[in-house]
């Protein structure tokens, strides 16, 4: 089978976890099926991310990736079909959007539904335009694709209910995370965090972009209540980019709640530093209001840190019995769960053991296998 593999939908100048996912999945797929060829659509800006590749991976350079959104859309919709015919592609795999006029079957992995489940996240004029585009293009791509890949059962249900996709077209393939998580011991991690970030006190860790639907506001509110009601002597570290410029208002919230000096914004953090931040954390707080998979909770479970997550969308499915769940809009309930995970040593030991065991379910081998099966089924081939 010759599969087209789209990497242009992410901006390499502002790399997200999705771009890293594409890189790691590509390697796993190439290892899983060395007799099949993967033709990777790359751009001059992101090509370096995929240069270290197995023999069955070939790079096909296109003019641009998502650093120039409008041009990328034209390339994907108009140029991909030409390339597909020229190179004899049997199926095209992409995230969220595929060429609607592709001459071969397409498989779209729908990994964002925020334009449906959290429309308030798109508030300004550009946001409304983005929401309109996503509703038009993402939904059309899912309906026209031969198969749709969802990264959780909760997401599968949402795709069917909100995007109008036939249930029999959707396959669930769980994602995986970087295997470097969980490779660093706690003491070594604490030294690394102290040296890199100057952090000496124990801390609660939040890992994600500071977008409103990720609910950093809720994390700050729950942390403030944790200190006020329980007196836990901790800091809150927020690791993640600030695409909407929210740090000033979040700092103001922390100050207003009496926790300003204990809340620290680390910005975008390299994977190597995240490995240490997770391993040295006392607990992770993940109060996101809308998720399709929730990679940070899996990263935390691999790292041996207790998880407190939102009882919302897919997170109960991913965390299972390996973490504590709370209403993300109820800071009192979230604070109580954080306090329990921080101070109850028996609960901590149980959560850490369950988390490490559960994290094994989310492997690159299983992710690659499921993705290959979806592509082969779409192309009408046996796998």
* Residue 189 confidence (pLDDT): 97
DSSP letters for 327-360 = -TT-HHHHHHHHHHHHH-HHHHHHHHHHHHHHHT
Q: Give, as one character, the DSSP assignment of residue 227.
A: I
376 is written with which tokens?
């082969």
- 143's CB contacts (< 8 A; 6+ apart) are 163, 164, 165
Query: Cα–Cα–Cα angle for 255, 312, 250, nearest 5°?
Result: 15
Residue that has been written with the tokens 């010759």 in this structure = 2
| Contact predicate 265/250, CB 8 Å | yes
Residue that has been written with the tokens 């695409």 in this structure = 243
| Contact predicate 65/72, CB 8 Å | yes
Give, in order, the Cα–Cα distances in Å from 155 to each of 71, 81, 114, 124, 240.
Answer: 29, 28, 11, 26, 24
* Residue 6 confidence (pLDDT): 97
Q: If you classify domain 186-359 with CATH, what class do you get?
A: alpha beta
* Residue 133 confidence (pLDDT): 75
Nearest residue to 368 (alpha-carbon basis) of 106, 160, 173, 114: 173
55 is written with which tokens?
């023999």
> Regarding the domain with residue range 2-176+363-377, which homologous superfamily does it belong to in the CATH classification?
Glycogen Phosphorylase B; (3.40.50.2000)
Residues of the chain with CATH 3.40.50.2000: 2-176+363-377, 186-359
Nearest residue to 62 (alpha-carbon basis) of 94, 33, 104, 15: 94
pLDDT in tens, the chain (383 residues): 999 999 999 999 988 889 999 999 999 999 999 999 999 999 999 999 999 999 999 999 999 999 999 999 999 999 999 999 999 999 999 999 999 999 999 999 998 886 666 655 555 444 667 667 777 888 999 999 999 999 999 999 999 999 999 999 999 999 999 999 999 999 999 999 999 999 999 999 999 999 999 999 999 999 999 999 999 999 999 999 998 899 999 999 999 999 999 999 999 999 999 999 999 999 999 999 999 999 999 999 999 999 999 999 999 999 999 999 999 999 999 999 999 999 999 999 999 999 999 999 999 999 999 999 999 999 999 87
- Beta bridge partners, 203, equal 235
């Amino acid at each position: 089978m010759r599969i087209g593999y789209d990497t242009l939908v992410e901006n390499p100048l502002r790399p997200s976890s999705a771009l890293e996912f594409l890189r790691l999945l590509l390697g796993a797929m190439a290892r899983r099926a060395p007799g099949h060829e993967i033709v990777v659509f790359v751009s001059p800006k992101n090509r370096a991310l995929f240069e270290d590749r197995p023999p069955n991976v070939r790079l096909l350079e296109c003019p641009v990736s998502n650093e120039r959104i409008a041009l990328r859309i034209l390339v994907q919709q108009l140029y991909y079909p030409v390339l597909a015919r020229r190179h004899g592609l049997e199926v095209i795999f992409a995230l969220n959007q595929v060429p609607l006029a592709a001459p071969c079957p397409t498989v779209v992995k729908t990994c964002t539904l925020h334009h449906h489940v959290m429309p308030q996240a798109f508030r300004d004029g550009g946001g409304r335009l983005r929401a309109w585009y996503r509703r038009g293009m993402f939904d059309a791509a899912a309906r026209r694709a031969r198969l749709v890949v969802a990264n959780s059962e909760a997401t599968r249900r949402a795709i069917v209910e909100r995007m109008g996709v036939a249930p029999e077209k959707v396959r669930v393939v769980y994602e995986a995370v970087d295997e470097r998580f969980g490779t660093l011991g706690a003491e070594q991690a604490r030294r690394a965090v102290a040296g890199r970030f100057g952090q000496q006190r124990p801390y609660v860790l939040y890992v994600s972009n500071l977008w409103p639907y990720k609910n950093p506001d809720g994390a700050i509110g729950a942390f403030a209540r944790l200190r006020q009601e329980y007196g836990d002597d901790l800091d809150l570290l927020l690791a993640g980019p600030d695409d909407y410029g929210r740090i000033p208002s979040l700092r103001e919230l922390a100050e207003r709640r009496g926790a300003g000096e204990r809340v620290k914004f680390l910005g975008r953090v390299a994977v190597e530093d995240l490995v240490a931040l997770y391993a040295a954390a006392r607990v992770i707080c993940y109060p996101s209001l809308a998720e399709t998979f929730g990679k940070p909770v899996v990263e935390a479970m691999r790292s041996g840190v207790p998880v407190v997550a939102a009882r919302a969308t897919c997170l109960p499915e991913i965390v299972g019995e390996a973490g504590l769940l709370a209403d993300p809009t109820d800071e009192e309930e979230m604070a109580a769960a954080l306090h329990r995970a921080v101070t109850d040593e028996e609960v901590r030991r149980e959560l850490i053991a369950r988390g490490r065991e559960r994290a094994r379910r989310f492997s690159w081998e299983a992710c690659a296998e499921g993705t290959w099966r979806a592509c082969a089924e779409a192309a009408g081939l046996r796998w």
